[in-house]
Amino acid sequence: ASVAKVIDGKLVAKQIRDEIAAEVSRMKEAVGVIPGLAVILVGDRKDSATYVRNKKKACESVGINSLEVNLPADTTEEQVLNYISGYNDDPSVHGILVQLPLPSHMNEQNVLNAVRIEKDVDGFHPLNIGRLAMRGREPLFVPCTPKGCIELLHRYGISIKGKRAVVIGRSNIVGMPAALLLQREDATVSVVHSRTSNPEEITRQADIIIAAVGQPNMVRGSWIKPDAVIIDVGINPVDDPSSSRGYKLVGDVCYEEAIKVASAITPVPGGVGPMTIAMLLQNTLTSAKRINSFQ
Ligand code: NDP
């Protein structure tokens, strides 16, 4: 039996970062502008702090300026809105990112709506999502994780047009925009969620599976059509006494089973994760170019 090709997100993300770094220095030389990303972190969630640190490091690696503000968990919504409004007006800032989830006393909708759509590098503003959903409209930014999934398919020469695609999960940040993107790429798309009665049967029809659920190893080998392509977005910690940390990260897809059935698959870690940050850098560069009319 053949074994699936491993889609190397780490490698592709590195290639993309190199391309971005070259563009950042070309723009700096030509018009003297350095792209800037402002990241707002509220509270002290460890995972969020890690994500923010990684984003900052990635910015530095390509020459993008990163401004970071760390606010205590009891910050008021008004204070966060004030920061956003300051960055909206700051010409050195081309992208504004509010690390989610916000503390529960804040209204996520109010906060995300306050980001100027021209600086909405996460692509979470309802106007950007609405345009993503509409034919003939173009969003200014596409959410980073689903954009990274599609970019991996493109860079591996996997065609999407006319294919059956199944997205497992319908969250605002991954599943829903992933389904919209696949549809824009002319796939025929089904969305599986927690109320779907026959997820296995539907998933088995897919030529392309994007799994974004948050359930370790949920998608088994029997769910997969032979030679399907699998993009596994899930990042799930599971106990692992043999690791020094006591846990390891696994995807939503049972990798050991899937690799025997699929034609290509992303590993966890090293698949979609690094692509998400690369797409954030790309969106920030795109924004700086657009704001400065630089091509
Ligand atoms: P959410 O919890 O917001 O959404 C999960 C989705 O999965 C929901 O739509 C839910 O359905 C659905 N779901 C839950 N259980 C089942 C089930 N048993 N069967 C079918 N569908 C189910 O998660 P996110 O979208 O934010 O994240 C999903 C995963 O991706 C997580 O593991 C997260 O860590 C990871 N992630 C990875 C990123 C990366 O960069 N690689 C970035 C962001 C997330 P319903 O709508 O009915 O509740």
pLDDT digits over 262-275, tens only? 999 999 999 999 99
**Mean pLDDT over residues 217-244, rounded?**
97
**Mean pLDDT over residues 227-251, rounded?**
97
CA 114/CA 152 separation, integer angstroms: 31
Which atom in ligand 1 lies closest to the alpha carbon of residue 272?
A: 41
For residue 38, name the pLDDT band (cuts at 50, 70, 90).
Answer: very high
Residue type at 111? V
pLDDT digits (tens, 9 = 90+) for 116-126: 999 999 999 99
Mutate to test the pocket of ligand 1, among 99, 200, 215, 233 (most ligand atoms within 8 A of CB): 233
Characterize 138-149 residue by residue with b for buried, 16 or more Cβ atoms within 10 angstroms of its Cβ, and e for exposed.
Answer: ebbbbbbbbbbb
Name which residue sits closest to atom 35 of ligand 1, judged by CA: 234
- Mean pLDDT estimate for the chain: 97
List, by residue number, the catalytic residues.
Answer: 55, 99, 122
CA 130/CA 138 separation, integer angstroms: 9
**Mean pLDDT over residues 44-53, rounded?**
94
Instruction: Sheet with 65-71: list strands edge to edge.
Output: 65-71, 36-42, 95-98
- d(CA 48, ligand 1 centre) in Å: 16
Burial class of residue 233, CB neighbours in 10 A (0-12, 13-18, 19+):
buried
Peptide bond before residue 101 is cis, with ω within 30 degrees of 0: yes
Helix or strand run (H / E) with residue 164: strand 164-168
Would you say the C-alpha torsion 59, 144, 233, 104 has a positive or negative sign?
A: positive
| CB distance 211 to 219 below 8 Å | yes
Name which residue sits closest to atom 47 of ligand 1, judged by CA: 194
| CB distance 140 to 118 below 8 Å | yes
ipTM at complex level = 0.99
Structure tokens, 274: 């690094």
Kindly tell me if the per-residue pLDDT of 2 is higher than 90: no
Q: Which residues line ligand 1 (CB under 6 A)?
A: 145, 168-171, 173-175, 192-196, 199, 212-215, 233-236, 272-273, 276
CA 3/CA 11 separation, integer angstroms: 20
pLDDT digits (tens, 9 = 90+) for 69-126: 999 999 999 999 999 999 999 999 999 999 999 999 999 999 999 999 999 999 999 9
**Mean pLDDT over residues 191-210, rounded?**
98
Kindly tell me if the per-residue pLDDT of 261 is higher than 80: yes
For residue 1, name the pLDDT band (cuts at 50, 70, 90).
Answer: low
Structure tokens, 8: 């190397």
Domains assigned to the chain: 33-116 (3.40.50.10860), 143-273 (3.40.50.720)
Residue type at 233? V
CA 247/CA 236 separation, integer angstroms: 10
Percent of the chain with pLDDT over 70: 100
Residue type at 250? V
pLDDT digits (tens, 9 = 90+) for 158-189: 999 999 999 999 999 999 999 999 999 999 99
**Mean pLDDT over residues 200-223, rounded?**
98
Percent of the chain with pLDDT over 90: 99
- d(CA 101, ligand 1 centre) in Å: 14
Q: Coil, helix or strand for 240?
A: coil
Characterize 166-204 residue by residue with b for buried, 16 or more Cβ atoms within 10 angstroms of its Cβ, and e for exposed.
Answer: bbbbbeebbbbbbbbbbbbbebebbbbeeeeeebeebbb
In which residue are the tokens 């916000």 written? 102
- Strand locations in 59-107 (E): 65-71, 95-98
Structure tokens, 217: 């190893």
Name which residue sits closest to atom 5 of ligand 1, judged by CA: 213
| CB distance 97 to 67 below 8 Å | no
